[in-house]
Structure 1
Amino acid sequence: MAYTFEQMMHGPQGHRLRKLVHVLAQDSHNPFIIVALMILKWEFMTATEDDWGLNESRGAACEFVAWQFLCHLDQRETIEFLLEELPSPRRHSTNLSETETGLSGLLSPQSGIQQIGSETAPLLPQVSTFNRLFGSTTDTRASSLSQNRTRQEDLHAAQRYSQFFGLNAVEIATIAHAKRFLSQRVVQRVVDDIWKGEIVFWDSLTVNSTKKPHIYNTRTADPYSRLRVPFYRKIFEAVFFVSFLALYYAVLIERRQDAIGVFETVMYVWIVAFAYDELSGIVDAGVVFYQMDFWSLWNLGIIGVGIAFVITSESCQDLPWWLFALSAPSQRGD
């Protein structure tokens, strides 16, 4: 039967799920559990078959288990499980299904990338001495076929879920429209701390700095890294948009059709700087998560209008000469 999130939270329907949560909290320490649950939520949400609301109920169960699991963690673990980014599996990495036993093939916060493609690794799986002596080729072929099938399945899974690589659990929950999970107090507390800059991802703005979620420390952090705090960035964006409106109206008032004026030159520089900032935002957040925000699409529209303005203003300067050249033969005929 299909159940709602509220029924799981207040009714007896969530009793078995709470047992699962206790088992996960005691026995599992994989930092990508919340990520996996949010990907499952997205999987059930995008399912096309009509199952009388069962997929919606399964997605709600994923949100419920993820929320209850976070309630068993302390602050440091909550930040790690919510904000640790899912790394991309590299080439020649081991199976994606082995993430629970050390996150093989994925970037673990402790172990890093584990690969099997080395110069000393054997090309064929290890065979016992008995099989080598008596030639158990059937088992070897079956093992090879099984390995090839597993690799194909892992490759298909990597291609299907490649859009989530580089995203954390909160971002994937946004893509999966897991609103009930995001609205819980334990998650909102982390989101508010990110907004205010109490949880940061960068200690400095140097080339060697790495992205890692942690609590902000005023004594060790670089003051310039505060420029990445979302609250401050939104203030700068508001000032940026006001300056753009001022430049736009200044160009309209200047109205120099014979050459490019000073205000128009400054506006071109503004458009290039704004486009560079948005491109860095796309690279940092990912295309899938970036397009979830309406204002991000609005910013791309501003960049498109700016580029169109530059192209048309440059081409229309020569338009009277083209019109004169086209009309000149008819005037000579008259």
Structure 2
Amino acid sequence: MALLVSSWSNGVKSVPKDYVMPPERRAGDFVTVCKEIPVIDLQNDRSEIVQKILKACQEFGLFQVINHGVSDKMMENMMALYDEFFNLSVEDKLGVYSEKPCKGCTLYTSGLEYAKEDVHYWKDTLKHPCHPIDKHSPSWPEKPARYKEEVGRYVVEVRKMGFKILDLIAEGLGLNEGYFNGVSQEHTMAINRYPPCPDPSLAMGIAGHNDPNLITFLQQDRYGLQVHKDGKWMGVEPIPNAFVVNLGYQIHAITNGKLKVVEHRGLLNSTTSRTSIVTFFGPNPELPTVVEPAKELVTPSNPQMFKAYQYNEFIANYLALAYNCRPGSLNGSALDPYRL
């Protein structure tokens, strides 16, 4: 437990040497918030929403949504819950702590496996599966006492929102309603806590990476998320009670390259903790799920880019790249083995 950044970093005056990134792996110059990233109101006209989402997915691989159906109060309660969780005593968090991420509910620090890293990320993460709730909630933290009840309600609402957005994407592509349901069996949450850092220019929250799953929904409370586009990093504005929606490798493959997978990273600040509540939708790696381009999107002018592959094989390849690459290029080109 002493490894958790949140357990030892309060009041430190300098960045420990094993958290100091080499110059080439630091965030670099200050990046301004990009005002071009689309913010889409899900209560607007449906045809307008569909076109805006499709354009955002093609240009950015990312957008933000408001009026999405998850109440402001619920989102505020979740941020308060996780602020309380990360401030619990060491003893109260021992039940879910591990030296590295596991399949179940796990509280861990830095990246994939602390002991194997040459330099560490300035973050702690609580990660656990969410669906079905009855199956997974017994493994969730016992404290705060309201954890299972509040997170259970949140999971239901985010799941509704997620499938709604996937259907809007499918509609924009000319695919049937529910097209992505078969590759959205797994629903996992990762709550990242980035404590204040005495010198954010030396350390990193998380380096640039692409998500391995289908689609990701992120709730953030403060600035720190950046995306890479056209050779440069751009900041994503933390809009109150909005969700950031970013696309992962699987939707890029299924849409035959029509939709963009977005590289993103997390930065630090010197004054306050930053929390991101991240929900991942994607195939279940424990099931024999085949991923391949939608036949409707393969045409003579847009020939098939990827062969069919097993998702569990992809994940094994992704993790191998992540373990073998230094932070800063976490997962290389994970789809390369499946290109035609």
Do the structures match in fold with TM over 0.5?
no
More strand by share: 2
Q: TM-score range by the shorter chain?
A: under 0.3
Question: Which structure is richer in relative contact order (CA contacts within 8 A, separation 6 or more)?
Answer: 2
Structure with more helix by fraction: 1
What is the TM-score normalised by the length of structure 2?
0.20
